[in-house]
């Protein structure tokens, strides 16, 4: 860990947990959520760039409304299921940033969604465009699509401007409404402080693809870049929309990456110490089924315990989290409840039906994770 990372981690505040929690459970501090929503929104407003947050992080209608109330232009979703949940709640400006393969039952669901809300969908192949057109033909007007561009992550998205023109042209030909380009700068997760560089690369790749599509005579009004680490690095030049997700709830990894400030972690897993039988160790009632095994190489352990910053959560089984207590450092007592900041918040939220919504240690209620488990 660099000096900067160590300093950021040392400044992670100890969260105020409400009394009487039944562990393991998620606790979300709404004061921090609202501050995170405002912080990114205000910076993007200043730059004249739209924010279209990704709901896959929180999967909550109530938290999506916090983002819209703060000024978000619409929502991003990763699956048809997430889109259906948001649409059902009346949130009707949705970008499904995924190369949906519209065949079988999925084609019928896509068509129904397109008839109900303002929808855009991602596409990165000619065959995918043909399926999207066939699934939505004669219903609700031409489906709006954005061509996905690979900004260097090598996950999905066309390789360059020429391939972008090919997919855009084919999409137009089969009757889709091509509106622009998008990308996900996920390679920024590879190491701390890559965000600015990776974001600039992303903006460049998008700009080149957008220019080529315009040169081919197809209008481009959306140039959309993604990810929390690249959010500010990519909000430059041709980019006019940012899709970030994790910024709202925060997690330990984002602090180590330098993508959010140390006081930006709004969600913790509350856990009870259930065993101290092994010397130098305490065991939590939270493990792989509540914290996941997500662990980037630059973070130590499977989560961070702000009240015991020297403690290392270095093993997890399904319902056990084994925390090593280095010699001479304080340890929680048997039965004590501690807050754990997950490494990566998105898959953790998806493991719970509800979260405890709190403000400064007071419980407001148990709120649903509305799109929990909607992975398709």
Q: Which residues bind a copy of itself (CB under 8 A)?
A: 20, 22-25, 56, 78-79, 98-101, 103-106, 124-125, 127-128, 131, 148, 150, 154-159, 163, 186, 272-279, 281, 283, 285-286, 288-290, 292-295, 315, 317-320, 322, 334-335, 346-347, 350-353, 372-373, 375-376
CB atoms closer than 10 angstroms to residue 35: 15
Smallest gap, in angstroms, from Cβ of residue 7 to a copy of itself? 28
Pick between residue 177 and residue 353 the one whose CB is nearest to a copy of itself.
Answer: 353
Q: How far is the CB of 311 from a copy of itself (least distance, A)?
A: 16
C-beta neighbour count of 219 within 10 angstroms: 10
Judge residue 89's burial from the number of C-beta atoms within 10 Å of its C-beta, 0-12 exposed, 13-18 middle, 19 or more buried.
Answer: middle
Please report how close the Cβ of residue 372 comes to a copy of itself at its closest, in angstroms.
Answer: 8
Closer CB to a copy of itself, 234 or 283, in the complex:
283
34 vs 252 by CB, closer to a copy of itself? 252
Which residue, 137 or 278, is less far from a copy of itself as judged by CB?
A: 278
Query: 8 or 148: whose CB is closer to a copy of itself?
Result: 148
Would you say 235 or 346 has its CB closer to a copy of itself?
346
Shortest Å distance, C-beta 276 to a copy of itself: 7
The smaller minimum CB distance to a copy of itself, of residues 204 and 315, is found at 315
Task: List, in sequence order, every residue forming a beta bridge with 119; answer none if it has no partner.
Answer: 94
d(CA 97, CA 332): 43
Rounded CA-CA distance 252/265 in Å is: 7
Nearer to a copy of itself, 49 or 151 (CB): 151
**Residue 231, Cβ density class (10 Å: 0-12 exposed, 13-18 middle, ≥19 buried):** buried
Residue 188 region by backbone torsions, left for phi larger than 0, else alpha for psi between -120 and 50, else beta: alpha
d(CA 57, CA 332): 30
CB of 286 to a copy of itself, least distance (A): 8
Give one DSSP letter per residue of 67-131, joined into a string.
HHHTT--SEEESSHHHHHHHHHTT--EEEE-S-----THHHHHHHHHHHHSEEEEEE-SHHHHHH
Closest separation in Å from C-beta 268 to a copy of itself: 15
CA angle 56, 62, 66 (to 5 degrees): 90
DSSP 313: E
Q: Give the integer Cα–Cα distance in Å for 16 and 36.
A: 17
Smallest separation, CB 350 to a copy of itself (Å): 5
Q: Within a 13 Å sphere around the CA of 288, how many CA atoms are in the beta-carbon half?
A: 5
CB of 42 to a copy of itself, least distance (A): 27
């Amino acid at each position: 860990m660099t000096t900067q990372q160590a300093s950021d981690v040392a400044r992670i505040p100890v969260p105020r947990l409400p009394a009487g929690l039944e562990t393991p459970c998620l606790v979300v501090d709404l004061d921090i959520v609202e501050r995170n929503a405002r912080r990114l929104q205000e910076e993007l407003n200043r730059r004249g760039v739209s924010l279209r947050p990704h709901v896959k992080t929180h999967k909550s209608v109530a938290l999506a409304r916090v983002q819209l109330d703060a000024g978000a232009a619409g929502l991003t979703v990763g699956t048809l299921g997430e889109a259906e949940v948001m649409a059902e709640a009346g949130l009707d400006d949705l970008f499904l940033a995924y190369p949906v393969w519209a065949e079988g039952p999925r084609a019928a669901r896509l068509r129904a969604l397109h008839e109900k809300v303002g929808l855009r969908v991602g596409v990165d192949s000619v065959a995918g465009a043909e399926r999207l057109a066939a699934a939505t033909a004669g219903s609700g007007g031409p489906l709006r699509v954005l061509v996905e561009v690979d900004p260097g992550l090598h996950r999905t998205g066309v390789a360059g401007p020429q391939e972008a023109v090919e997919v855009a042209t084919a999409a137009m030909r089969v009757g889709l409404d091509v509106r622009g380009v998008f990308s996900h700068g996920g390679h920024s997760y590879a190491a701390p402080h890559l965000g600015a560089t990776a974001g600039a690369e992303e903006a460049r790749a998008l700009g080149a693809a957008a220019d080529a599509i315009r040169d081919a005579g197809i209008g481009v009004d959306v140039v959309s870049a993604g990810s929390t680490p690249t959010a500010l690095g990519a909000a430059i030049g041709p980019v006019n929309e940012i899709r970030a997700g994790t910024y709202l709830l925060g997690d330990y990894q984002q602090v180590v990456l330098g993508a959010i400030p140390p006081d930006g972690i709004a969600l913790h897993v509350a856990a009870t110490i259930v065993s101290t039988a092994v010397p130098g160790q305490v065991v939590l009632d939270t493990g792989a089924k509540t914290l996941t095994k997500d662990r980037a190489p630059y973070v130590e352990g499977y989560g961070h315990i702000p009240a015991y910053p020297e403690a290392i959560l270095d093993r997890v089984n399904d319902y056990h989290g084994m925390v090593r207590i280095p010699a001479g450092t304080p340890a929680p007592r048997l039965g004590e409840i501690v807050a754990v900041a997950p490494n990566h918040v998105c898959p953790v939220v998806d493991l719970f039906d509800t979260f405890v919504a709190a403000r400064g240690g007071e419980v407001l209620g148990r709120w649903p994770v509305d799109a929990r488990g909607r992975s398709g």
